């Protein structure tokens, strides 16, 4: 099977306009994503899919490939689906344009997941190490079955530890609290081994991607604001693999500073 990485990149981000072109250690942000993706062993090519002429020109300036797509797309999935429709590849990998720390091994991992012919999509997960992340709605949690297929994704703390946590309700809020359990008891507030977070890189079979882009949003997706729930609701099987790599998605200028600090320490 042949695979390609498509990187969706739009200019008009609400929280960080012009984000793909933001300078990061002497290069635009999108260049870091592109160059790291090019190091994949299994992907035959890398192309940026954008709705912005400045982004198109910036990619060309550093020697990359980019294609123009419609400015009306509601999601990166829709954007890469438009680009992929005319391409002759079996597997499409969606690498977000705001992931400058993406590793080529992560790309190879999600491509390899589709060696399982029963899988429609592949994605990565990482064991949660900080208890605070379990309760952070910005950290998407995932549960999966014995065969490595996702059962559900949520911003809520799933699985919910009934023995260790309680819910305090008031007229205006719902607050999760941890119960005081004996030190070392399974399910204590410091226990994180049963919780995994989702790392937002996907591989799709081409026909699955095109089909998914034609589907209407579903209620679960709209409630959680998680597009992958559309796939699960419609019966698509998402295979997951645990990764040891950490990434920092750039949603705000503050996130960009965090990436700069990380690269200064570890590069």
Does residue 14 form part of some domain?
yes
The DSSP output letter for 56 is: H
β-partners of residue 9 are 50
Two tokens at 262? 């990380």
Distance CA(103)–CA(23), nearest Å, equals: 20
Residue 11 sits in a domain of what CATH number? 3.90.550.10
pLDDT score at 185:
42
pLDDT band at residue 198 under the 50/70/90 scheme: very high
pLDDT score at 46:
98
Does residue 152 form part of some domain?
no
Q: Helices 104-113 and 29-38 meet at what angle, rounded to 10?
A: 60
Does residue 156 form part of some domain?
no
| 36-50, 160-174, 199-213, range with the lowest pLDDT | 160-174
Does residue 98 form part of some domain?
yes
**End-to-end CA separation in angstroms for the chain:** 33
Does residue 138 form part of some domain?
no
Q: What is the mean pLDDT of residues 166-184?
A: 57
For the chain, give the mean pLDDT: 90
Residues 6+ apart with CB under 8 A from 27: 62
Q: What is the DSSP string of 195-258?
A: -EEEEEEEEEEHHHHHHHHHSPP-HHHHHHT-THHHHHHTT--EEEEE---------SHHHHHH
Does residue 206 form part of some domain?
yes
Q: Are 196 and 142 in contact (CB under 8 A)?
A: yes
Q: What is the mean pLDDT of residues 172-188?
A: 51
pLDDT score at 259:
92
pLDDT band at residue 183 under the 50/70/90 scheme: very low
What pLDDT digit, counting tens, does each position of 106-135 carry?
Answer: 999 999 999 999 999 999 999 999 888 998
pLDDT band at residue 59 under the 50/70/90 scheme: very high
Does the pLDDT at position 164 exceed 90? no
pTM value > 0.75: yes
Q: What is the mean pLDDT of residues 208-223?
A: 96
Does the pLDDT at position 176 exceed 90? no
Q: Are 140 and 154 in contact (CB under 8 A)?
A: yes
Does residue 59 form part of some domain?
yes
Does the pLDDT at position 20 exceed 60? yes
Distance CA(159)–CA(141), nearest Å, equals: 9
pLDDT band at residue 168 under the 50/70/90 scheme: low
Residues 6+ apart with CB under 8 A from 128: 134, 139, 141, 192, 195, 196, 197
pLDDT score at 142:
97
Which helix (H) or strand (E) is 166 found in, with range? strand 165-169
The structural domain count of the chain equals 1
pLDDT score at 163:
79
- Compute CA distances 103 → 33, 242, 243, 253, whole Å: 9, 14, 11, 22
Two tokens at 228? 């992958």
249 burial (CB, 10 Å; 0-12 / 13-18 / 19+) is middle
Does residue 96 form part of some domain?
yes
The DSSP output letter for 12 is: -
Q: What is the mean pLDDT of residues 16-25?
A: 93
Two tokens at 224? 């959680």
Range of the domain at 203: 3-127+196-266
Top pLDDT among 4 and 190 is at 4
């Amino acid at each position: 099977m042949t695979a390609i990485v498509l990187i969706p990149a739009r200019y008009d981000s609400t929280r960080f306009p012009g984000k793909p072109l933001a300078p990061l250690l002497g290069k635009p942000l999108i260049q870091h994503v592109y160059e790291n993706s090019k190091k994949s062993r299994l992907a035959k090519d890398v192309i940026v899919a954008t709705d912005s002429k400045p982004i198109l020109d910036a990619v060309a300036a550093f020697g990359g490939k980019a294609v123009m797509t419609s400015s009306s797309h509601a999601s990166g999935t829709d954007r890469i689906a438009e680009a992929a429709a005319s391409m002759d590849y079996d597997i499409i990998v969606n690498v977000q344009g705001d992931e400058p720390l993406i590793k080529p091994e992560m790309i190879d991992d999600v491509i390899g997941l589709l060696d399982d012919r029963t899988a429609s999509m592949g994605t990565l997960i990482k064991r949660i190490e900080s208890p605070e992340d379990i309760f952070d709605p910005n950290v998407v949690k995932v549960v999966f079955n014995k065969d490595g297929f996702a059962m559900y994704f949520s911003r809520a703390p799933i699985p919910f530890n009934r023995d260790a946590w309680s819910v305090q309700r008031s007229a205006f809020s719902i607050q999760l609290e941890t119960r005081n359990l004996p030190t070392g008891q399974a399910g204590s507030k410091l226990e994180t081994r049963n919780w995994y977070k989702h790392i937002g890189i996907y591989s799709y079979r081409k026909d699955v991607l095109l089909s998914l882009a034609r589907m209407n949003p579903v209620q679960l997706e709209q409630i959680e604001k998680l597009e992958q729930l559309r796939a699960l609701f419609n019966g698509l099987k998402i295979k997951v693999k645990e990764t040891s790599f950490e990434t920092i998605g750039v949603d705000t200028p503050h996130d960009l500073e965090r990436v700069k600090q990380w690269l200064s320490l570890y590069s």
